[in-house]
Structure 1
Amino acid sequence: MRKPSAGRVARLAASVTAAGLVTVGMAAGPAAAASDQLWIVSPWELALPKAVDGQQARETTVALGLYHDNANYRVTDGKLTVDVSGLAGVADVTWPENCAPTGPTAVCSFPEVPLTGEAPVEVKVRAAAGAEGGATGQITYEATATTSYGTMVAPGSTTTIRVASGPDLVLNQSAPVTGVAPGSTVPVPFSVVNNGNEPANGVDVSFYVTRGLELGAVAPQCTSTPLGEGAIKALTKVDCAFDEVVEPGGSFTMPSALQATVAPYALSERIDIGVNARGGVEDLAPENNGWVAQITATNTADFAVRGGRYTAAAGETVRADVTFRNRGPAWVANLGSGDPVGSVEVTIPQGATATTVPDACEPRTADGGWWESEVRTGAPRYVCQLPIWVAEKQTVTFGFDLRVDTVVTGAKGAITLKPPYGTSFPFDPNAANHQAKLVLNPAV
């Protein structure tokens, strides 16, 4: 399966994301009836480096797997049938131990089919001797598995194999780093190997660094550009151009070891790293040219909401502000998913009508259902989306114009802060200030 490509950070960076080359087969028959599905995990296409100067071509891994998606069922005895007869004259195959070959086909076994799309079966393929660039072939797949209600069947799928020539830069994949103290410095592992059959005549490297990390002066060959709107920039992009030639089988590292300084306001940080051969040369497998180094600091952020008390006579309109504040000390950002950091739910006080509503606020019915009217004003409840990131000490205000139709003494509207997922904010130790009131005509 493809890994995240370089620069896949939020909607703030104009980065290029490699298309995911994964195909899945949906189950039919009994599986659909039982609300479960069997899936085949396989790449859509792979490029094999062509053999050069009579040498044996480098191997490439075809990662395969099965999974299903209903935790209420146990799925066992998965059988993935792999047919490589379509690779004759194009590629040679080496089977792993968990596949039993018979001629050009093999059955790969999964005693327990998991719920996640892992790819534990690694079939090795290499360009056949004499196969020319541009030659193509196909691998086909079928799969079955057993569950309590019978046999699950996944429809067939294919992988196209293409013989090509060029560099194949592969970036290392580092494990996430957690529990880092703000103010500390952590290493950022970085190394690249060329698994292709041609040299990379220079290497371009890019880093998208979230605000809570500082890489410093990376190298003389690098330039830094802050990204984002406003005075506070959520990202810094670092572009580097190196002239070093990376031969097939060779490696490349930065001139000096990378280290990131963790800011006092850091929380869930990331560095999206991407590498490419210079000169626009096509990489044989661009899916492994990028990786995300994740660094999580031990920190908290105190989210709070505030309402207000307003007085108006019948027929008058009053401006009512609903305010969100991140009291810090950490900033909070969902740059990877692009989801809002949370939402603020506002219930309009009794006897009033919302005549002006912020663009970020969607109308709802009194019980929280969808508002069917095309007019956004006049709803009894609103859900206001916060930005995808908020800095420490940042305030977001949602201003409503409320017309008092009937004076109701002490009419109270509820204000509730909600996370994008689940029921709580894991970084916020103080949930007491996640609720407030919007009061019209309070009792004297």
Structure 2
Amino acid sequence: MRKPPFGRLARLAACAAAAGLATVGMAATPAAADSDQLWVVSPWELALPKGLDGAQGPATTVALGLYHDNPAHAVTDGELTVDVSGLAGVADVTWPDTCAPAGTTAVCSFPEVPLTGDAPVEVKLRAAADAETGVTGRITYQATARTATGTMVAPESTTTVRLASGPDLVMTPFTPVTGVAPGSTVPVPVSVVNKGNEPANGVQVTLYVTRGLDLGTVAPQCTSEPLDEGPVHALTKVDCAFDDVVAPGGSFALPAALQAKTAPYALSERIDIGVNARGGAEDLAPENNGTVASIGVTNTADFAVRGARLTAAGETVRADVTFHNRGPAWVANLGSGDPVGSVDVTVPRGATATTVPDACEPRTADGGWWEGEVRTGAPRYVCRLPIWVAEKQTVTFPFELRVDTAVTGAKGAITLKPPYGTDFPFDPNAGNNQAKLVLNPAV
């Protein structure tokens, strides 16, 4: 299942916000080198606006697609069979040119099946003119594709379609901006269209703004508050309440485009933007009520680790393993929730770890899972860093080591690793990403 682009940051901010536009029929797991799986991209359910006064409702798009797991395989000739027989008396269907309809089914073609869960096929639905609010129908999907070794078959999936009445506020997506210089200002327009069949009597706009951006005063109808304690606030919430009535087909925009000024320490910044109708009105499709304004700033952050040189024999000593962000940028993974990195620590020969920091997980000498009943005594540890670190911030992992055998110059390795890949693209100096933990260094 694709990770929702808006969900992680919203959960961190304790906000019920929009999830991704599309889901897949089942949760996918990473494919092994000799396996692959075909998946259908489709919504689980869809609220279709009912027409008023006996007319058909506005058109609603069902975005569909195919994808597969394994990058080692080329997957072609994808065919998605869409069966809309379950929509009889509920909705009328308009097929795109990429689909060949025959009665109540259509075959949609995908000459090349991608690795991502994109949804390029757009099927249009309109509520049947005489259908009643609350009735439901179903769309069923089956799919096949070809590989060098044969035919792939996707698990069958469905979309439940429900006729409903209410506003449907849809945000205009933001195109990511990159290459911004620190100190620059980036305009961030916020615009919304009501694609529902009832007016939105007031609009609530909620912004979650990362630390490297300053929006100034958004509007008199807005209030802001930091979402974490301490002297450094990673995230700020801005809540705005407007009395504007947005009629079906009408639009709403902030009084002025947001002006996001990037700080000297900015790097990968974002504004998560969500809208809702006020007064408790239920939005017909809350999954399209949000967007992310991603702003990439050209900056660097010099990550470094530091070990220790200790002299001891037959006693327990404290060994501090230290991470330091030398800046000038802060680094945050607020969208994914992943640590900014990890520190891999190998215990020196002749010593036993008797006290281990909570953020450090035991490993075998070759990095495998530690099967011991306790966390102490492992030959190696992986220590998780926070999901964000400010510029000039230090994180210390204090170990206590019992020196069982005094081995002159016993060295343990300390290596800083990224959450994905092999390097930190923003780090200009990879040479200080390694250090040593030395016991009883030679004189």
Task: Please say if residues 338 and 419 of structure 2, whose CA atoms lie closer than 8 Å, have aligned partners that are also in contact.
Answer: yes
Residue type matched to 2:401 in 1?
L
SS of residue matched to 2:70? coil
Task: Please say if residues 24 and 43 of structure 2, whose CA atoms lie closer than 8 Å, have aligned partners that are also in contact.
Answer: yes
TM-superposed CA distance for 1:351, in Å, is: 1.6
Task: Give the TM-score, by structure 2 length.
Answer: 0.95
SS of residue matched to 2:156? strand
Distance 1:6 1:424, change over 3 A: closer
In the alignment, does 2:163 pair up with 1:167? no
List per-residue Cα deviations over 1:350-387 (Å, max 9, x = no partner).
Answer: 22211111111111122222211111111111111111
The residue aligned with 2:257 is 257
Residue type matched to 2:304 in 1?
A
- Distance in 2, Cα, partners of 1:143 & 1:381: 46
In the alignment, does 2:236 pair up with 1:236? yes
Q: Which residues in structure 2 correspond to 1:21-420 (within 5 Å)? A: 22-24=23-25, 35-312=35-312, 314-420=313-419
Task: Please say if residues 267 and 331 of structure 1, whose CA atoms lie closer than 8 Å, have aligned partners that are also in contact.
Answer: yes
TM-superposed CA distance for 1:53, in Å, is: 2.4
- The gaps in structure 1 that reach 5 residues or longer are none
TM-superposed CA distance for 1:26, in Å, is: 9.2
Residue type matched to 2:399 in 1?
F
TM-superposed CA distance for 1:349, in Å, is: 1.6
Task: Please say if residues 6 and 19 of structure 2, whose CA atoms lie closer than 8 Å, have aligned partners that are also in contact.
Answer: no
- Distance in 1, Cα, partners of 2:147 & 2:360: 46
* Higher alpha-carbon deviation: 316-325 or 236-245: 316-325
Distance 1:149 1:43, change over 3 A: same
TM-superposed CA distance for 1:141, in Å, is: 1.6
- Distance in 1, Cα, partners of 2:179 & 2:440: 49
- The gaps in structure 2 that reach 5 residues or longer are none
Residue type matched to 1:304 in 2?
A
Percent of paired sites with the same residue: 81
Task: Give the TM-score, by structure 1 length.
Answer: 0.95
- Distance in 2, Cα, partners of 1:114 & 1:260: 35
Distance 1:210 1:33, change over 3 A: closer
Distance 1:442 1:73, change over 3 A: closer
Task: Please say if residues 166 and 284 of structure 2, whose CA atoms lie closer than 8 Å, have aligned partners that are also in contact.
Answer: yes
- Distance in 1, Cα, partners of 2:45 & 2:72: 33
Task: Please say if residues 355 and 377 of structure 1, whose CA atoms lie closer than 8 Å, have aligned partners that are also in contact.
Answer: yes
Residue type matched to 1:346 in 2?
V
Distance 1:152 1:34, change over 3 A: farther
Task: Please say if residues 82 and 141 of structure 2, whose CA atoms lie closer than 8 Å, have aligned partners that are also in contact.
Answer: yes
* Higher alpha-carbon deviation: 151-160 or 361-370: 151-160
The residue aligned with 2:425 is 426
Task: Please say if residues 80 and 108 of structure 1, whose CA atoms lie closer than 8 Å, have aligned partners that are also in contact.
Answer: yes
List per-residue Cα deviations over 1:303-359 (Å, max 9, x = no partner).
Answer: 0111122222x3221111111100000000011111111111111122221111111
Matched residue count: 440
List per-residue Cα deviations over 1:145-188 (Å, max 9, x = no partner).
Answer: 22222222223221111110000000110110000000110001
Task: Please say if residues 138 and 161 of structure 1, whose CA atoms lie closer than 8 Å, have aligned partners that are also in contact.
Answer: yes
SS of residue matched to 1:115? coil
Root mean square deviation, CA, Å: 2.1
